[in-house]
Amino acid sequence: MRFHLRCLSLAVLVGAGLSGPARAAETAKIGAALSMTGAAAVYGATQKAGIQLAVDEINRSGALHGLKLQAIVEDDGSTKEQGINVYQRFINRDRVSVIIGPTLSTTATAADPIAEASRVPVLAVSNTSPTGITDIGPYIWRVSLTEKQVIPGALRRARAKLGFKTAAVLYGNDDVFTKAGYDVMRSALPQQGVKILGTQTFAKSDRDYNAQLTALMALKPDVLMVSALADNGSAIVIQARQLGYKGPIMGGNGLNSPAFIKNAGPAAEGVLVGTSWNAASPDPVNQRFIAGMKARGVNPDQFSAQAYTGVYVIAEAIKLAGFKAGREDIKAGFARVKNLDTPLGRFSFTPQRDGEHEPALQQVKGGKFVILQ
Amino acid sequence: MGQQIVNGLFLGSIYALFALGYTLVFGVLDILNLAHQAVFMLCAFLALTLVSLAHLHILLALPLATVAAGLVGILVERVAFRPLRGRADSNVAGLISSLAVATIFESIALGLWGPDVSRFPLGTVPERQLHLGGAVVQELQLVIIGIAVLMVLGLTFLLQRTRLGRQIRAVAESGFAARVLGIDVDRVIALSFFISSALGGAAGVLFGLAFNSISPDVGRSVELKGLAVIIVGGMGSMPGAVIAGFGLGLVETFTVARFGSSYRDAVAFAVLFLVLLVRPRGLLGQAATRVA
């Protein structure tokens, strides 16, 4: 009996091994670990919409020669623990070809090593921490520009327009992403001749920032730099304006979200944010993306544009690998993606597997982000 | 510096408001009601719904939500505390069951209002400001500080001068003796929960108005501070909670101004330790008799 059972399980194993690649030829499963709840929930919903739109477009176009994409979206809860669980489900149960996500860099630093160890390619579409993501290993790739790429470019443009000489910085020190944004500000500001007068911190769970803002405003900076997630950012901007701060406010990537404008209301007016996605770009690929999102009743933003681009980069990789969607095929295909036309512009990977394209600067005007040329 | 005093007083009034209800129940029952922060959150969401969906004026929504919070408090007492009363381990068991109630309330809020941070619609409260010698004060902040002071005075009056207050104090002293004297102990405890939760709920609405961010986990950001406040103030002491609340707000604010925000909680809690070393029963805590 025991022999029988072992025989059976062996047969099952062999069967799974054989049928695995055969099935992959028909559908390529993409596991997307997105923050549908928790601190980053505002980003997860729009990322999901971007992924779904791209998958539907590609499947309808038949560009992959009959091979269909299937997106499996799971909630990473904005936490490391749940992110790891979702990854294990993707890798072992759903047996996906490639993983998109997770939404937050903090989660990625914990979950990505699992995919790396299991040799499953990961494409990060919103992680912007300069370190700790793609340096995990050769299976981790990313679409999103790092704060290191966006902030200096946006800062240069903002300085040329406003001519500020001094800055005060407020950042969240218990999150990899907002801390990374601060690290870039700390080095980019002096490099461009802007003196940092003072720095204050807050925690993700904080709601009151009056003390920090009062201390910073007493230094009379020309510009207030804020590295925060959208939820904290909107409250920070409101409280800064209530305290009577009249100068310009420039944010890190976290403020780059319609949710920030919605919650901050009139206080958001004039806030400057660097962005990887130039919403005003007349490029037809970009316009098609915007129209597609609006047709689904979703407001397109940077996060959905990056998620959308991520799926197209995966499709391109499958194409370059000879329409094969195995885990190794997609990884090999990524390495050959070059100058792909996307809503973000012409997209390539750097030798370090990070995304590369031109960043832009935008400002809140009349409740919307407007690109400053 | 003037601005930081305003910031500290304002933050302190929020802590004090939250801690008042907390300490009232502790004074009467010797039980920490860990569902207090969930009622705080639930009431804020309720007022938000009344304002944004039913289009009620905030001056109407605030008292309605406050009364609702009080009723929720009675429910909490009925479900989580009364069945356990009289058991030898009722203190610990009540603590755990109130934790369960808090979890249930948070899940309900998560289901009803979602995980995102919500805010009251723009213009719910007039955004007028006063300038006091270089410091900017929001009208709302003054109102909140005023409400905190009024509630303390009102509660003190209620406890010291009214029949219900005397009954509450009698139950706090000894439930058994109160029952012998003919006091309906269950009713007095239920009423204490009503008052406590109404206070906590009002604090939640004012918190939501002041900081423009309400989420299912919003109560947790004040829970620990509220606990610290009632310990330092002297468990069960009403004026102690108020003094400690304002004290904590000021200490936190000045730590940020002086040493930077990274040291805020470290310095604030170090001060709490020092206070407890010097006065183990807290600022106004008493040895044998509790001031409910």
A260 contact B CB<8A: no
Q: Are residues A130 and A57 in the same domain?
A: yes
The closest CB to that of A205, out of B127, B221, B252, belongs to B221
Give residue A349's pLDDT: 95
The closest CB to that of B138, out of A231, A242, A259, belongs to A242
Residue extents of the structural domains in chain B: 2-113+134-278
Residue of A nearest to B129 (CA): A242
Give residue A20's pLDDT: 40
Least confident interval from A76-85, A278-287, A340-349, B23-32: B23-32
Q: Are residues A152 and A136 in the same domain?
A: no
Residue of B nearest to A240 (CA): B136
Domain termination residue (choose one: A275, A305, A321): A275
Q: Are residues A112 and A210 in the same domain?
A: no
Confidence category of residue A1, pLDDT binned at 50, 70, 90: very low
Confidence category of residue A16, pLDDT binned at 50, 70, 90: very low
Distances (CA, A) of B39 to B72, B93, B199: 7, 19, 10
What is the tens place of the pLDDT at every residue in A223-273? 999 999 988 999 999 999 999 999 999 998 889 888 899 889 899 999 999
What is the tens place of the pLDDT at every residue in A106-120? 999 999 999 999 999
Domain count, chain A: 2
The closest CB to that of B3, out of A37, A214, A231, belongs to A214
Q: Are residues A89 and A165 in the same domain?
A: no
> Residue A54 and residue A175: Cα distance in Å, rounded?
30
Look at B119 and A173 and tell me if their CB atoms are within 8 Å.
no
For residue A2, pLDDT beyond 60: no
Q: Are residues A227 and A109 in the same domain?
A: no
The closest CB to that of A202, out of B122, B127, B261, belongs to B261
List the end-to-end C-alpha distance of chain B, in Å, as a whole number.
36
> Residue A273 and residue A158: Cα distance in Å, rounded?
9
On the question of a cis peptide bond just before residue A343, with omega within 30 degrees of 0, the verdict is: no
A-chain CB neighbours of B129 within 8 Å are: 242, 244
Q: What is the mean pLDDT of residues A140-146?
A: 94
A-chain CB neighbours of B212 within 8 Å are: 234-235, 238, 263
Q: Are residues A201 and A347 in the same domain?
A: no
B-chain CB neighbours of A199 within 8 Å are: 260
B110 contact A CB<8A: yes
For an interface test with A, the pick among B213, B214, B251 (most A C-beta atoms closer than 10 Å) comes out as: B213
- CATH number for the domain formed by residue range(s) B2-113+134-278: 1.10.3470
Answer whether B190's CB lies under 8 Å from B74's CB: yes
Confidence category of residue A4, pLDDT binned at 50, 70, 90: low
Q: Name A201's bridge partners.
A: A171
A284: closest CA of chain B, how far (Å) = 33
What proportion of chain A, given as a percentage, has pLDDT over 70? 93
The closest CB to that of B260, out of A200, A243, A263, belongs to A200
B-chain CB neighbours of A246 within 8 Å are: none
Q: Tokens for A156?
A: 């240069």
Confidence category of residue A371, pLDDT binned at 50, 70, 90: confident
Answer whether A129's CB lies under 8 Å from A148's CB: no
Asked if residue A252 is part of any domain, the answer here is yes
For an interface test with B, the pick among A37, A208, A236 (most B C-beta atoms closer than 10 Å) comes out as: A208
CA B34-B190-B171 angle, 5° bins: 95
> Environment class of residue A27 by beta-carbon count within 10 Å: exposed (0-12), middle (13-18) or buried (19+)?
middle
Asked if residue A101 is part of any domain, the answer here is yes
Asked if residue A41 is part of any domain, the answer here is yes
Q: Are residues A74 and A128 in the same domain?
A: yes
> Residue B195 and residue B66: Cα distance in Å, rounded?
10
User: What's at A189, amino acid-wise?
Assistant: L
B-chain CB neighbours of A206 within 8 Å are: 221
Q: Are residues A245 and A168 in the same domain?
A: yes
Give residue A347's pLDDT: 95
What is the tens place of the pLDDT at every residue in B137-176? 888 888 888 888 888 888 889 888 999 999 988 888 888 8
A227: closest CA of chain B, how far (Å) = 15
Q: What is the mean pLDDT of residues B59-72?
A: 94
What is the tens place of the pLDDT at every residue in B206-264? 999 888 888 888 888 788 888 889 888 887 788 888 899 999 999 999 998 888 888 88
Give residue A192's pLDDT: 92
A267 contact B CB<8A: no
B113: closest CA of chain A, how far (Å) = 12
B90 contact A CB<8A: no
B252 contact A CB<8A: yes
DSSP string, A290-328: HHHHHHTT----HHHHHHHHHHHHHHHHHHHTTS--SHH
What is the tens place of the pLDDT at every residue in B98-138? 999 999 999 999 889 887 788 888 888 887 888 877 788 88
Q: Are residues A90 and A28 in the same domain?
A: yes
The residue segments making up the domain with residue A175 are 148-275
Give residue B123's pLDDT: 80
B44: closest CA of chain A, how far (Å) = 14
Confidence category of residue A290, pLDDT binned at 50, 70, 90: very high
Question: Which of B156-195 are b and which e, b meaning 16 or more Cβ less than 10 Å from the residue's Cβ?
Answer: eeebeeeeebebbbbbbeebeebeeeebebeebbbbbbbb
Average predicted confidence (pLDDT) for chain A? 89
Domain termination residue (choose one: A258, A275, A292): A275
Q: Which of A219, A301, A285, A221 is nearest to A43 (CA)?
A: A301
Q: Are residues A265 and A293 in the same domain?
A: no
Give residue B286's pLDDT: 64
Q: Which of A270, A262, A210, A263 is nearest to A240 (CA)?
A: A210
Look at B260 and A201 and tell me if their CB atoms are within 8 Å.
yes
Asked if residue A36 is part of any domain, the answer here is yes
Of A284 and A256, which is predicted with more confidence?
A284
Look at B136 and A199 and tell me if their CB atoms are within 8 Å.
no
What proportion of chain B, given as a percentage, has pLDDT over 70? 98
> Residue A15 and residue A142: Cα distance in Å, rounded?
34
Asked if residue A365 is part of any domain, the answer here is no
A37 contact B CB<8A: yes
Chain B residues 178-217 within an 8 A CB cutoff of chain A: 207, 211-213, 215, 217
> Residue A257 and residue B114: Cα distance in Å, rounded?
18
B52 contact A CB<8A: no
Give residue A7's pLDDT: 46
Asked if residue A78 is part of any domain, the answer here is yes
Give residue B287's pLDDT: 52
Report the predicted TM-score, pTM, of the whole model to 2 decimal places.
Answer: 0.74
A242: closest CA of chain B, how far (Å) = 7
Give residue B288's pLDDT: 44
Asked if residue A371 is part of any domain, the answer here is no
Q: Tokens for A104?
A: 């937050």
Q: What are φ and ψ of residue A297, in 5° steps?
A: 75, 20
Asked if residue A6 is part of any domain, the answer here is no
For residue A10, pLDDT beyond 50: no
What CATH number did the domain enclosing A224 receive? 3.40.50.2300
Answer whether B283's CB lies under 8 Å from B243's CB: yes
Give residue A157's pLDDT: 87
For residue A154, pLDDT beyond 60: yes
Domain termination residue (choose one: A255, A275, A295): A275
